[in-house]
Structure 1
Amino acid sequence: MLGEDPYRRGRRSSGHADRRAVDRRQADRGPDGRHPDGYPEDGYHEDGYPPEGYADDPHARDPRVDSRGDRRVGDRWRDHRGAGGHEPRDDAEDWDDGWDGDGDGDGEERRGRALPKLIAVLLLVAVLVGVGIFGIGKVIGRVSGGGYTSADYPGMGEGIAVVQVPDGATARQIAVELQDADVTASVSAFVKAASANPKSLGIQPGTYRLRSRMSAEAALAALLDPASSAPFKFVIKEGMTVRQVLQGLHERLGTPLSELEAIARSPAQLGVPSYAPTLEGYLFPSTYDLDPGSTPVQLLTSFVTRFKKETASIGLETKAAAIGVKPAEIVTIASIVEKEVANASEGPQVARVIYNRLHDTTGRFRRLDMDSTTRYAEDEYEGPLTRDQLNKANPYNTRAVASLPPGAISNPGIWALKSALEPADGSWLYFVSMPQSKVTRFAATSEEWAALRAQYLAEGGKE
């Protein structure tokens, strides 16, 4: 590169030439600072050393020159002698391989100058790697539903998808169920939608009929809509009979009624308590989730299992023993209370009337005389009972048969069971539910009962 000094001034030489040689060369210069042969003073020199730059220390080495006389331009090394001993080419930088040359540790300055370039290269690599990870993350996120993005389907979806929400499930657990069923595109999309909607805390456990490929917000709205779970919900209302429960299962599942009735006639296979004489009274009233894969036996067993759980929580067997009543009798009394009482708060008083009649020593009540037990036997729950029905001899006609019927007449709720276990204190022997006021009145004497009866008729009650 003519006209340009490839070696910067002010550097120390390797110390192989003495000061006299330098002075001699300086004396050879012309008035213009050039050598007689035409080479510029700043050009190449016959001994391979720069014209200036000697330090006081004759042993100090020029970091641009190695032990063989190799020099470098900028941060690149080249052989001063060139190939075959010729002078080096001005384009030596083009073929320089960036190597230190002699491995003697004299490349510190080169490495110092190369450091910014190295940092730049590393930064470039880091950026490229980051972009790659970002791109891969987006792909994985859209495929798996996790990661950086929240992949989501548009719209309300299509077809039908059945999803179960476990009891006590978190938003993320629900999101996993939805993604596994291909209802939503990703876990994160549903979690985001649920976090933004406080109503999501009201999602109930159970089975839901949704659509495939729904947006996360649409799926959340469907889970909050009772209609989505209605096809899989089955309700046993307080006071329902086994017959009514079986009819409901038949209508919901399509299972032949005769098959369900055959199962009910063998209650032991359903796990009823050992003291239960029949299945009646042991299907606990509640709302149940109908698992599409469950058999009728499994469903009925779940109703019985719930009864055992709830009665254990109130200590039914222990409290029954404490008042001298058998557990099965508690269930039967509770089932009568369930059918006779208009309001749950009146249950303990009605239970006391039943106990008072069972233990009456005056002779006025040798029987319970409860219409509800006769209605159960006749499967007749609307309108007045006929004289023939009231006089018919059957184990459940408490007008004709003394003491309690042989079993429960309905499936009582927890309040009725508690009423049977903890009856109110009182001497009542009569009660009647008023047709208009919808309250139950109680009487202890015949005179009080006559007044209540007159009020009952005045409100439109029938004999």
Structure 2
Amino acid sequence: MTGGNLDEMLDEDPYRRGRRSAGHADRRAAGRRPDGYPEDGYADEGYAEDGYVDEDYAGEGYADGDYADGDYADEGQVGASYSGSGHTGAGHDDEGYADDYGDDGHPRDAGAGSRRDRGGRRRDRHSAAGGYPPDDAEDWGGGWDDDGADERRGRALPKLIAVLLVVAALLGVAIFGIGKVIGRVSGGSSTSADYDGSGDGIAVVQVPDGATARQIAVELHDADVTASVSAFVKAASANPKSLGIQPGTYRLRSRMSAEAALAALLDPASSAPFKFVIKEGMTVHQVLDGLHQRLGLPLSDLEAIARNPAQLGLPSYAPTLEGYLFPSTYDLVPGSTPSQLLTSFVARFKKEAASIDLEARATAMGVRPADIVTIASIVEKEVANASEGPKVARVIYNRLHDTTGRFRRLDMDSTTRYAEDEYEGPLTKDQLNKANPYNTRSVAGLPPGAISNPGIWALKSALEPAAGSWLYFVSMPQSRVTRFATTDAEWAEARAQYRAEGGRE
């Protein structure tokens, strides 16, 4: 028997003996004994020792397994004494064919009891209704011999038992083989091999976004962090905190126990070396400097990439890279290039912008999508509390749309700080009066682009400004609240509070 291949094992014929010819295939399927005929045929009166030739049919009376003399052509053992689908009855009767076969075992060619007429044609011995005629001494040569049948059953019983034993053994082997295949497909044996302790060395593992416990287990096992897939699945199933495993890259140890590996994946310190955070309100320069510090890449190389933002997949409406590096926590996949990292930041912006339908809603407001991003970047820098964002956006829109001539300019310090790259302490008069495109004290309207990378709340504030008539606002340095004013009197009161809390103009 062949081994290792389930299909071959199940297709193997355990009963093959010696040589088979194509002409014998139907005879074997039509009721032959599963262990083949003995070499000398059946040793009874119906089948004399010299009645068949070759391995299957031996003797001088037949040629190549077919009946000679044209008595039985092509059909093999099919005749009046046999049904079309195989041998009929419990066996071959030793005496039941007295009229058809002589004492030497050869078929008679003529005579009242012969099943052939003298021309060699087969004579149908079936009744008009079909089947065999009733037991008749004249027709059947004395009928069935019950004593002979008992004797034959006695001889066949040991062979039947042997065949059943062989079949049972084959089924056992097949079931065992199938079990082995199923074990491989399902991930291993029923036991959960596991390492002991917290492991040694360093292993880097990537947890894909949306991975299941089994998928994580496969990653761990492939990296030789755990001894088996099932060990980690079992540990994760027993700990509800496993649902909190975040996608990303983790620095673990090799040959850890499943429990230790799970604990490491739940520890932020394991993924910290591969995390990069863009905080809300960070500028492109700050992002590039952070990548320089983390990856050791020359800052000049990063700045050269930023000066050619088209290669990063920016939205068509974006004038610069500023404003389009979406604030979030990113996974620094080992082997990633700086361009790939920056592209992933831009891709995240486009995903978030699409989630709030930024372009269509901006168009509906009569505002360019790029201006929405610019307004959101100013809101991000001017207000401490997200809940105040829609009010600050309303002040910006009110000043941009003022028709009285009172507010030709936005007069936002945040835009001047961006131009000066100065974010600590008060601005000098020279800085406030310097002419540059981002100094909204000297230039009317919005600056030419964003001044920071806004978060989703700031983008929503620009798209959904609060209703109000405010024209002024100021954030208090101590109380961390923002005062809004419409009239000059309200504005004077807000400025007094600002100074009282230590603010400097």
Task: Say whether the fold is shared (TM-score over 0.5).
Answer: yes
Aligned-pair distance for 1:411?
0.2
**Cα distance, 1:456 vs structure 2:** 1.2
Secondary structure (helix, strand or coil) at the match of 1:284 reads: coil
CA contact (8 A) 1:145 1:185 kept: no
- Residue identity opposite 1:409 in structure 2: I
Q: Secondary structure at the match of 2:151?
A: coil
- How do 1:92-111 residues align onto structure 2 when only pairs under 5 Å count? 106=151
1:186 aligned onto 2:228 = yes
Instruction: Give identity over the alignment, percent.
Output: 81
In structure 2, the partner of 1:409 is 451
**2:473 matches 1:431:** yes
Which residue type is aligned with residue 434 of structure 1? M
1:266 pairs with one of 305, 308, 324:
308
Contact 1:190 1:220 in 2 (8 A): yes
Is the 1:158–1:211 contact (alpha carbons within 8 Å) kept by the matching residues of 2?
Answer: yes
The aligned residue for residue 296 of structure 1 is 338
Structure 1, residues 148-201: CA drift from partner, whole Å, max 9, x if none? 221111111111111111111111111111111111111111111111111111
3-state DSSP of counterpart to 1:160: strand
Offset of residue 442 of structure 1: 0.2
Runs of 4+ in 1 over 4 A off after TM superposition: 107-123, 125-137
* Partner deviation per Cα, 1:331-353 (whole Å, 9 max, x = no partner): 10100000001111111110011
2:437 corresponds to which letter in structure 1? Answer: P
For residue 414 of structure 1, what is the amino acid of its counterpart? I
Output the CA distance in 1 between the equivalents of 2:427 and 2:352.
34
Change (3 A) 1:276 1:426: same
- Which residue matches 2:410? 368
2:371 match: 329
Provide, for residues 354-380 of structure 1, a one-character-per-residue CA deviation record: whole Å limited to 9, x for no partner. 111112222221211111011111111
Cα distance in 2 for partners of 1:352, 1:131 equals: 75
What is the deviation of 1:327? 0.9
Distance 1:365 1:192, change over 3 A: same
State the partner residue of 1:240: 282
Report the secondary structure of 1:106's partner residue.
Answer: helix
CA separation of 1:268/1:118 partners in 2, compared to 1, >3 Å: closer, same or farther? closer
1:88 maps to what in 2? none
CA contact (8 A) 1:203 1:223 kept: yes
For residues 356 and 204 of structure 1, the distance between their equivalents in structure 2, rounded to whole angstroms, comes to: 43
Structure 1 contact 193–220 (Cα < 8 Å) conserved: yes
The equivalent of 2:485 in structure 1 is 443
Matched residues in 1 for 2:365 and 2:333: separation? 40
What letter is aligned with 1:367? Answer: R
SS of the residue 1:162 aligns to: strand
Structure 1 residues 153 and 334: CA distance shift in structure 2, 3 A: same
For 1:202-240, what per-residue CA distance to the aligned partner results, in whole angstroms no more than 9, with x for missing partners? Answer: 111111111111111111111111111111111111101
1:253 corresponds to which letter in structure 2? L
Q: Distance in 1 between matches of 2:420 and 2:364?
A: 34
CA distance in 2, matches of 1:323, 1:279: 24
Q: Which has the larger radius of gyration?
A: 1
Q: 1:42 corresponds to which residue?
A: none
Letter in 1 for 2:352: E
The answer to whether 1:153 aligns with 2:195 is yes
> Equivalents in 2 of 1:233, 1:169: separation in Å?
18
RMSD: 3.0
Q: CA deviation at 1:133?
A: 7.7
CA distance, structure 2, for counterparts of residue 181 and residue 320 of structure 1: 48
Q: Which residue of 2 aligns with 1:462?
A: 504
| Residue in structure 1 matched with residue 51 of structure 2 by the alignment | none
Q: What are the superposed Cα offsets for residues 219-278 of structure 1, whole Å, 9 maximum, x if unpaired?
A: 111111111111111111110100011011111111111000000001111011111111
Instruction: Compute the displacement of 1:304 (Å).
Output: 0.6
Alignment of 1:122-271 (within 5 A): 146-271=188-313
* 1:159 alignment partner, SS class: strand
* Cα gap change, 1:152 to 1:351, in 2 (>3 Å): same
Amino acid paired to 1:106: E
1:383 maps to what in 2?
425
Q: Distance in 2 between matches of 1:153 and 1:133?
A: 29
1:127 Cα deviation after fit: 13
Q: Which whole-Å CA distance do the structure 1 matches of 2:290 and 2:300 have between them?
A: 13
In 2: Cα distance, 1:316 partner to 1:132 partner: 61
Q: Distance in 2 between matches of 1:294 and 1:153?
A: 32
Q: Which runs of 5+ in 2 are unaligned?
A: 1-93, 95-147
Q: Using the TM superposition, name which of 387-396 and 328-337 deviates more.
A: 387-396
Question: What is the distance in 1 between the residues matched to 2:355 and 2:165?
Answer: 72
Where 1:390 maps in the other structure, the secondary structure is helix
The one-letter code matched in structure 1 to 2:477 is P
* Residues 323, 145 of structure 1: alpha-carbon distance in 2 compared, 3 angstrom cutoff: closer
Given residue 372 of structure 2, which amino acid in structure 1 is its aligned partner?
I
State the alpha-carbon separation in 2 of the partners of residues 188 and 108 from structure 1.
Answer: 55
Q: Is the 8 A contact 1:335 1:411 kept in 2?
A: yes
Q: Distance in 1 between matches of 2:270 and 2:188?
A: 26
Equivalent-residue separation in structure 2 for 1:128 and 1:415 (angstroms): 66
CA contact (8 A) 1:145 1:189 kept: no
Report the AA paired with residue 179 of structure 1: H
Distance 1:359 1:122 in 2: 93
Q: Read off the aligned partner of 1:421 and give its amino acid letter.
A: L
Please give the TM-score of this superposition, normalised by the length of structure 1. Answer: 0.71
| Structure 1: tracts of 5 or more residues without a match | 1-66, 68-102
Q: What letter is aligned with 1:352? A: R
- 1:340-359 aligned at under 5 Å gives the runs 340-359=382-401
Shift in Å at residue 111 of structure 1? Answer: 8.9
Structure 1 position 338 matched with structure 2 position 383: no
User: How many equivalent residue pairs?
Assistant: 359
After superposition, what is the alpha-carbon deviation per residue over 1:66-110, rounded to whole angstroms, capped at 9, x for unaligned?
A: x9xxxxxxxxxxxxxxxxxxxxxxxxxxxxxxxxxxx97538679
